[in-house]
Amino acid sequence: MESLVVVVSLTLTLVFIWILLSRPDPEKVPSLHLSPAVREMAADPARRSEAVEWCRRETGASRADALLAVELVAAEPLSNDVKAIAADPGRKIEAIKRVRDEAGVSLMAAKMVVEKYLANQGSTTS
């Protein structure tokens, strides 16, 4: 019984490490320079998977990094509604949810876009 517990614990630890290592690197992804063709595909939800493959070919990025880069392009520019919601510090989560609903992107991409917008707002008002 003890050996089963050790095996399960070790397996769960390895799965957790694999998940952490396979996540996209948010610091690296925004620096991917996407061609106008990929940006155009990213704007069309029906062509996003095609945009990811093109992004991978053009940049050599992993699938996760390419997907995040395409989603970041798809989520911008923010609508005026999202900007108004994000301006209220207590409604940041609502702004992220609105970006996800409007653009059909992942939680990570929506969060990064809203946080980038808020950071730029802070630097322009200072």
Per-residue pLDDT tens digits for 75-106: 888 999 999 999 998 999 999 999 999 999 98
Task: Kindly state whether residue 25 falls inside one of the protein's structural domains.
Answer: no
pLDDT in tens, 27-44: 555 556 788 899 899 989
| Confidence band of 10 (pLDDT split at 50, 70, 90) | confident
Least confident segment among 10-14, 39-43, 72-76, 120-124: 120-124
Domain of residue 96: give its range. 77-126
Number of domains in the chain: 1
Task: Kindly state whether residue 104 falls inside one of the protein's structural domains.
Answer: yes
**Predicted pLDDT of residue 126:** 47
Q: pLDDT: is 7 or 50 the higher one?
A: 50
Q: 40 to each of 46, 54, 76, how far by Cα in Å?
A: 11, 11, 12
Task: Kindly state whether residue 9 falls inside one of the protein's structural domains.
Answer: no
Task: Kindly state whether residue 113 falls inside one of the protein's structural domains.
Answer: yes
**Predicted pLDDT of residue 5:** 82
Task: Report helix, strand or coil for 94.
Answer: helix
How far apart are the C-alpha atoms of 69 and 52, rounded to whole Å?
Answer: 8
Structure-token match 């992220």, residue found: 96
Give the gyration radius of the chain's Cα atoms: 18
**Predicted pLDDT of residue 24:** 56
DSSP state for residue 27 in the 8-state scheme: T
How far apart are the C-alpha atoms of 29 and 33, rounded to whole Å?
Answer: 9
